[in-house]
Every structure is written in structure tokens, then in C-alpha cells.
Amino acid sequence: MRAMTSSAPIAVLADLDAYARAVDTAVAAAAAYYAGGETTLDDATYDALVRGIEAYEAGHPGQVLANSPTGKVAGGAASGDVAHSAPMLSLANVFSEAGLTAWAAGLERRIGRPVAGWHVSPKLDGLAIAARYREGRLVQLVTRGDGASGEDVSHAIGTVVGLPERLGRDETVEIRGEVLMTHAQFEDANAARIAHGGAAFANARGAAAGSLRARERGYAVELTCFAYDAVPVAGSSEEIRAADGLGHGRLMALLAELGVRTTAATPVPGRGAATLEEVRERVAEIAGLRAGLPFGIDGIVIRADSAADRESAGAGSRAPRWAVAYKLPATEKITRLLGVEWAVGRTGVIAPRAVLEPVLVDGSTITYATLHNPGDITRRDLRIGDHVLVHKAGDVIPRVEAPVLGLRTGREQPIAFPAVCPECGSAIDTSEQRWRCVRGRDCRLVASLTYAAGRDQLDIEGLGGSRVVQLVEAGLVTDLADVFTLTREQLLTLERMGGTSSDKLLAAIGVAKTRPLSRVFCALGVRGTGRSMSRRIARAFGTMDAVRAADAETLRMVDGIGAEKATLVVAELLELAPLIDRLAAVGVTMSEPGGAVPVGSAPAPATEGGGREGAGDPDGADGPTAALPLTGLTVVVTGAMTGPLEALSRNEMNALIERAGGRASSGVSARTTLLVAGERAGSKREKAEQLGVRIIDPDGFAELLDGLLG
């Protein structure tokens, strides 16, 4: 297993003028962040700039400017009037496996012996803080500042989850940790800030920094702290005084006993590592979990675990020599908003999409990003020409977070909202956050019907886009139910439709009537649901009548349905009620074979009766089996399937996995337990190998599920 690597771009500074401008830019960016949490440079650009400054200074030691950010905590931009009980330093960075290896070798040369052991933990993307407890009571909060002294932010006591106002016992100690906003806290903070007339925060890190310092504010903002150290002070107990000699893992356990939050209760707890190879494995594991975490991380911290090793290594003016941050590829970059496109989906929803100046984020060139909805654009005060922060993590669709207000020139222009539906020119229903054409699904009837007839929905062979256009233009089909009332005589009136073609299409429509509820529900295109969710809903309720009778609270019992989505599904089913009634009247199946599966239990294998001919239909074979071979497993499929699985679409593979008791996933992470790798499997296989995930070929997977395929 190998660790993830990341590139380390560097700004090339050709001469003294370029160097001086780079210093001014870096200092201004650091000052904007540490003063109010504003972002004028994204992390990757700032890091590249500082590395360029360091490289120039190494080659021109006589030209180093006094205000250079190198060698200074917080780039020299932060300060305060509360002295720290012990220096509060930053961390040096490495950006690749080679850099990590070189750093570890240098550490061992410095201490004159092999490192006794390592500790590996996530590098949380927030703001360092010192929390001072006196006899168990939290009495003061101090920012890191310049490392020697910081700013008193004790007004935030009571707003930081993880820093209890009273410890589990009456200890006197200084706890050090990282204050951040979880993704949920960030959304809540932005909603509150906008509601009180403020501009949206650009990102969670800046929001945490700005909110921690805000002294007078008409609304509450919640923060989270994860502790990473304890410093003994006058009055500390012997146990606390001995803490410096503990391994890092034991120290974190001690803090947890006191009631302080650490990462131990998260998917990325800090762990010990005996060798550098184990360090690399843990780095890869944490990196693989990054996209699914409820908070941001921008790297992994590797530290010598032994107190003796740490004492021998010592520290520089900016950072300890016994610890380093392995930086991960940036998931946020700043680029320009060039325009906004408005597209109408098959359900009539009108969605804005940002057109961006191309920017490389996390290995992908991003030219488009989601803007959520018109209300979100207004709340964030986005304008054409703005520099915007673009976020991308894992397989998540890139999104525009907020404008970088400090980079506005005054030439930016308001975003024009459509006055009528961009697709058909009808009026727009603006009563909800997501605007919608008043014609709803009728606005994109062709797209809606083509989707319903698709392979992963009703699988009506011969009813492709061009045929749907013919039927709609001829007035033969006005909704999905009309498809099931088509006659041979009607079809023969269409161009290029002879007797044989008509008979084949009618036969395919007849088979489509027998598809299970999961496919019918998916074909309806209920907003807020997709293929996997349609399967879960169908299996949870068993019949369409049961689904329609469920209220929002009942729907929330289905995995993946929250309060907002449950309410939307109820409203959608009410809107679709006439169509559903007509579909039932013409004989379309409204039940799931095998009946309802209680929420939270493994799904039982079932058949759709008249499904795709031949073995291999993922909705085939009646009745439950004695055992489900994938129970408790998270399975990812990649590459081209062969053998018994060759005919299955990716959606059918996912359905097969769920019927076998497993959970289908699209991305490989440390939570993945099995990868089915077919021909031409690429990056997902490489990542699975890095993480030590079990890999099986299609034939092996088919053999594993033999009872469900036959």
C-alpha cells in the first residue's frame, strides 16, 4: 500500500521586484485572513507563493525583506497581547511521499537514532486556540497569534462544542486545539449571517476565524474544537505535568477523560504507527476518508510519538522539528465567474450553472459549477466578474461557495435572472427556493418520457428520444400513461414505423408493465430521488399505495431521506397522483416482488416476473434466500463487466449488490470493503490497492452471488 502523493507547485520569482511583490501579496493575504477570516488567496496559491519566497531567499540571502512571511508563525500577520505559557508554533509542510521520507530521514539524523514511533492524525482546517482551565473551569480562550502571544477571545466561551465550560474534574491546565466549523455549522452560520444583512463567508475556515473573533453580534454561531495538546501550568496536577512524557495517543485519551473533544470519536482518529510504511498507510487511509468527513481537513499531521525524540529534535522559530504536515491536494481554488447559464431539467426545475475561468482543483479542470438556486445567488451577492471560491471534494460536483469581496474592482455586474422559462417561454413558479416552469414536467415532456423509457427505468426497447419526439408531435402521447395505451394502428401512422417495428415496440411496452415498483417509481422522476433511493423506497413500503399513504415522518425512516427531502417526496406524489392512477388503471405494476422489507433490515432477493429475458436480471428470482452474501459490505463496481455480469448496466449491478445485502457506492474510500474490478479498471482500482481494499473480478463476484444470478 502506498500513500497518496500531491504536487507542490511553486511561484517562480525572477528578480528582486517580483520577490518584493510576492512578499507584499502574501503578507496582505495573511493579514486579511488573521484579521477577519477573509480569503484573498486560496490555500494552494498562498502555499506556492510562500515556497517561491523561500526559494528566492535561499538563493539571495542578502535581499531578505524584514516583513517576509517565512520563518514566522501565521506569516507574521497575527499578534496579540496575551502571552502564551509556552510557544504556540505552526507546522512545516511536505507535499509528497518523497518529501515525507526526506523529512523523516532528516529527523533521525538530527536525533542520532531511529524514531521510536510515530503518531498520525488529521490536520484540521481551522484556527489554533489555547483554552485555559482553572480548577476545572474554562476561564480564558486565546488565539495562537504570532506564537508568543495571542488575542483574548474569551467572549466565545460557551459557543465552542468540545471545550466544556467545566472539565470532568477540577484540573488546572491549558488545552490546545483547533477550532473549526463543521459543514453543518458552516451552513447554519452563513444562513444566520445573511439573515442579519451580512455577506456569506467564503469558506468554513474563514467563517471559524471571523466568528471566533466577533465580539458584538446579534446572532449565535456555533463552533467545534478538537484538542491536540495539553500544557501544564501553575497549579496543574502531577498527572497533567507528566502528560508531556505520554505518547500522543495516551495524551488524547487523558483529554477525553476530562470531557474534552478529540478526533478519537470521528472516522479519522489519531493512531500510532511503528514504521514509516505504517505512516504512509495511515496517510492514505485518512486521505481516502476526506470527502466524507463532516468537517474539513487539509492534510495529515505526522509527529514523533516519544517525548525523548521530541526533546532531542527541538524546535525552530516557527515550527517543531519533530512534526510535519503532509498537505493534501487543494479542494478549493479562487477563479473568476464569467457567466451563468440557466437549464431546465426534466421535471421543470430551472437550475443556474456557473461558467468559470478554467481552474485546476483536486486534479480536475473545472469550468462549470453548481449555483444551487436563484435565492442562493442573491444571498451570496454573486456578480458576473467576481473572483469566487470554488470547492470540490472527492466525487462531489464542484460548487461556488462565495465571492471574494476583497478582490472586487467595482466592474462586476449583477447576474440576470430569467423572466420566463428558458425552455418554453412559460411563466416561472418562484414560490420555492428552486424555481420551476409552471408547466412542470410538461415543459420537458420529451426528456421526461425518454428518461422513463431508459434501460435503468422501464427499459422500453425502441422508445428512444427520436421516437418519443414523433409520438409527442403527433399528439399520441401527452404523459407516461399514454405510452401504455398506444395501438398498432396509431404507431403505423408514424414515419418509418412498419408492422414489425410497431409489434416490437408494443411487445416492449407490454413487458414494461411488469417492471417492479422500484423501476416504476424511478421512471416517474420524483424530485429528490434517484435510482438507489427509488429502490430503497419501494423495498421499504412494498406497494405504491403504501408509499402514497406515508407521511413525511414515515418516509424519513428510509435511509438517506431527511426532513426536507421527505416533505418534497410527499408533495411530488400528490402532484403525480393523477398520472399514478392512470398508470395503475392501464395495468402497470405497482408493487415490489417479495413485499415490503422492514426499514433497517437487509433487502430480500426478488424478481420482477416479466423482466429482461435470460439470467442476469438484477430484479430476478422470486423469494428470499437463506443468506445474503454481501450483508454489511460496501461494494464499488468499476470497469467493464464480463461473463454472467456482462449484460448488466451499472444501475443493475447496484441493485444486485443491494439485493445481496450490501451497500452500493460509487467512490472508493477507506469505508469500501469490496471492489469489483472489470476490464479497463483504472484509478478506482489503484486507490483500492492503496487502501488495501479487497478486489475481485466479475467472474469471482458472479460466483459469490451465484444463488442470485441463476
With H, G, I as helix, E, B as strand and everything else as coil, classify residue 696.
Answer: strand
Q: Exposure of 521 by Cβ count < 10 A (0-12 exposed, 13-18 middle, 19+ buried)?
A: buried
pLDDT at position 603 is 41
Q: What percentage of the chain reaches a pLDDT higher than 70? A: 90
- The pTM of this model reads 0.61
Q: Which of 390, 380, 387 is closest to 411 using CA atoms?
A: 387
Give the alpha-carbon dihedral of 147, 148, 153, 159, to 10 degrees: 50
Residue 321 CA: distances (Å) to CA of 91, 154, 271, 515: 9, 31, 20, 64
**Is the pLDDT score of 176 beyond 70?**
yes
Same domain, 129 and 258: yes
The C-alpha cell 469566487 sits at 388
Burial track 132-151 (b if 16+ CB lie within 10 A, e otherwise):
bbbebebeebbbbbbbbbbb
Same domain, 311 and 187: yes
Same domain, 524 and 504: no
**Is the pLDDT score of 454 beyond 70?**
yes
**CB distance 113 to 103 below 8 Å:** no
SS (H, E, C) 86-106: CCCCCCEEECCHHHHHHHHHH
Q: How confident is the model at residue 661 (pLDDT cuts 50, 70, 90)?
A: confident
**Is the pLDDT score of 192 beyond 90?**
no
Residue 71 falls inside a structural domain: yes
DSSP string, 380-445: HT-EET-EEEEE--TTSPPEEEEE-GGG--S--EEPPPPSS-TTT---EE-SSSS-EETTGGGGGH
The C-alpha cell 522559530 sits at 317
pLDDT at position 137 is 95
Q: Which of 144, 162, 135 is closest to 89 using CA atoms?
A: 144
For the stretch 265-288, pLDDT in tens is 788 888 899 999 999 999 988 988
Listed in sequence order, the residues at least 6 apart from 249 whose beta carbon sits closer than 8 Å to its beta carbon are 119, 270, 271, 272, 305
**Is the pLDDT score of 614 beyond 80?**
no
Listed in sequence order, the residues at least 6 apart from 330 whose beta carbon sits closer than 8 Å to its beta carbon are 42, 43, 44, 298, 361, 362
Q: How confident is the model at residue 578 (pLDDT cuts 50, 70, 90)?
A: very high
Alpha carbon 329 to chain centroid, angstroms: 14
For the stretch 463-475, pLDDT in tens is 999 999 999 999 9
For the stretch 237-257, pLDDT in tens is 998 888 777 788 888 889 999
**CB distance 642 to 658 below 8 Å:** no
Q: Which of 311, 567, 575 is closest to 441 using CA atoms?
A: 575
Range of the domain at 652: 612-710
Average pLDDT of the chain, as a whole number:
85
Average pLDDT for residues 177-205, to the nearest whole number?
85
Same domain, 688 and 578: no
Residue 307 falls inside a structural domain: yes
**Is the pLDDT score of 360 beyond 90?**
no
123 is known as an active-site residue: yes
Residue 9 falls inside a structural domain: no
Same domain, 630 and 704: yes
pLDDT at position 198 is 80
Q: How confident is the model at residue 708 (pLDDT cuts 50, 70, 90)?
A: low
**CB distance 630 to 661 below 8 Å:** yes
Output the nine-digit C-alpha cell for 353: 450553472
Q: Which of 123, 333, 392, 684 is catalytic?
A: 123
pLDDT at position 23 is 86
Residue 8 falls inside a structural domain: no
Same domain, 337 and 380: yes
Residue 606 falls inside a structural domain: no
Same domain, 582 and 618: no
Residue 427 falls inside a structural domain: no
Q: Exposure of 179 by Cβ count < 10 A (0-12 exposed, 13-18 middle, 19+ buried)?
A: buried
Output the nine-digit C-alpha cell for 396: 462531489
Same domain, 316 and 350: no
In whole angstroms, what is the distance from residue 101 CA to residue 115 CA?
Answer: 13
SS (H, E, C) 184-234: HHHHHHHHHHHHCCCCCCCCHHHHHHHHHHCCCCCCCCCEEEEEEEEECCC
pLDDT at position 356 is 94
Residue 429 falls inside a structural domain: no
**Domains in the chain: how many in total?**
6
Q: Where are the alpha helices (DSSP H) in 12-151?
A: 16-36, 43-59, 97-111
Listed in sequence order, the residues at least 6 apart from 526 whose beta carbon sits closer than 8 Å to its beta carbon are 534, 569, 572, 573, 576
For the stretch 387-430, pLDDT in tens is 988 887 655 678 887 788 778 888 999 999 999 999 999 999 99
Alpha carbon 204 to chain centroid, angstroms: 13
- What pairs with residue 665 in β-bridges? 636
Q: Which range has the worst mean pLDDT, 74-78, 302-306, 438-442, 705-709?
A: 74-78
The C-alpha cell 395503475 sits at 584
CATH number, domain containing residue 360 = 2.40.50.140
- What pairs with residue 402 in β-bridges? 389
CATH number, domain containing residue 536 = 1.10.150.20
Same domain, 165 and 306: yes
**CB distance 710 to 621 below 8 Å:** yes
Q: Exposure of 582 by Cβ count < 10 A (0-12 exposed, 13-18 middle, 19+ buried)?
A: middle
Q: Which of 506, 457, 369 is closest to 652 using CA atoms?
A: 457
Domain edge (last residue) among 41, 76, 111? 76
More confident residue, 305 or 684: 305
